[in-house]
């Protein structure tokens, strides 16, 4: 595809890493009341693949938050578009994200969820861009660290395009400039 500059992670590499993360989560949450919170829309593919690799009972719920407009930069404004359907009080919560960039949205989300008195809150993220971090926040479970490039595929989009790609690729600048 001409809009993709290069593939960063193939579907095989992603599947292998998701399986490893799933094994670690299974080990860490045995016997606990686990709620996986998928962040829509970007994390849906990672979330779906991850759930199938976790071998312990869990509950699934979703939130939709937005801090991006139809550009490649965060707008700085966080909005909750869809909230949880279940109570998380006294439960172990694992937020499943597609990418941690500045960390501002995730920090805000963790603060909101913490006010609901969960037993614990951790984060699983497919991707991490540590160069762009503006808050002290690290994913507890991480697929891959990446440089400061604009990526799409495996659920990640630009203007609602490219989510369907089975790999994570770098979007060519001419596609978003």
- Distance of alpha carbon 52 from alpha carbon 50, whole angstroms: 5
Cβ-based neighbours of 161, under 8 Å, separated by 6 or more: 152
Give me the active site residues, please: 101
Tokens of 92: 């172990």
- HSE-CB for 14 with a 13 A CA cutoff: 23
- Other Cβ atoms within 10 Å of 85 Cβ, number: 10
Encode 5-19 in three state secondary structure: EEEEECHHHHHHHHH
- Distance of alpha carbon 140 from alpha carbon 146, whole angstroms: 16
- Identify any residues that bridge with 62 across adjacent strands, giving them in sequence order: 38
């Amino acid at each position: 595809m001409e809009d993709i500059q290069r593939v960063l992670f193939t579907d095989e590499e992603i599947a292998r890493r998701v399986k490893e993360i799933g094994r670690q989560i299974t080990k860490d949450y045995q016997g606990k009341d686990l709620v996986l919170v998928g962040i829509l829309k970007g994390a849906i593919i990672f979330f779906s693949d991850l759930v199938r690799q976790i071998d312990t009972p869990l509950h699934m719920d979703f939130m939709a938050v937005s801090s991006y407009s139809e550009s490649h930069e965060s707008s700085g404004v966080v909005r909750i578009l869809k909230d949880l359907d279940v109570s998380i009080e006294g439960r172990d919560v694992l937020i499943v994200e597609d990418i941690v960039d500045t960390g501002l949205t995730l920090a805000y989300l963790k603060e909101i969820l913490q006010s609901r008195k969960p037993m614990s809150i951790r984060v699983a993220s497919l991707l991490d861009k540590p160069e762009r971090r503006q808050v002290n926040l690290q994913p507890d479970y991480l697929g891959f660290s990446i440089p400061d490039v604009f990526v799409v595929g495996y659920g990640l989009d630009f203007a609602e395009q490219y989510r369907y790609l089975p790999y994570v690729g770098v979007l060519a600048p001419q596609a978003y400039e």
